[in-house]
Each structure stands twice: as structure tokens, then as C-alpha cells.
């Protein structure tokens, strides 16, 4: 890990992904028990959010690395 980068940077990304997974699971259950609900419709939204979160983390990591 480069010097000057806080060690908790990766931990925050993992925590955000875990929270996103918990929200996804809750939303899946709520939509599943709703009459006529199709929980598979949630997948694109949450997948896009996860990809955006990972892309943002990679962007910020690379941006910090170029400052040195």
C-alpha cells in the first residue's frame, strides 16, 4: 500500500458493498412478498450501484496514486 494512503480506504469500500448487499436483500424480500412483485427487476439497479461504487473507488485510488 502506498505511503500516505489511509489503511481504511479499502475497508470503506467493502463496508459500502456490504451495506448495499443488505439493502438489496431487504428490497428483494419486500418485493418478493408483494403480490405480483418481480424481484428480478431489482437486479439491474443494484448491479449498477455496485459497479458505480467500485468504479468510484478505483478512480479515487488512482487519483491518489498520481498525486505522489
53-58 LR contacts (CB < 8 Å, sep 24+)? 53/13, 53/16, 53/17, 53/20, 54/13, 54/17, 57/9, 57/13
The tens digit of pLDDT for each residue in 7-62 reads: 666 788 899 999 999 999 999 999 999 999 999 999 999 999 999 999 998 898 88
Q: Is the whole-model pTM more than 0.85?
A: no
Amino acid at each position: 500500500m502506498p505511503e500516505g494512503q489511509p489503511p481504511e480506504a479499502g475497508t470503506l469500500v467493502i463496508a459500502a458493498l456490504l451495506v448495499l448487499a443488505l439493502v438489496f436483500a431487504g428490497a428483494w424480500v419486500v418485493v418478493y412478498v408483494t403480490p405480483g412483485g418481480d424481484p428480478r427487476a431489482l437486479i439491474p439497479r443494484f448491479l449498477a450501484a455496485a459497479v458505480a461504487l467500485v468504479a468510484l473507488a478505483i478512480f479515487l485510488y488512482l487519483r491518489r496514486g498520481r498525486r505522489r
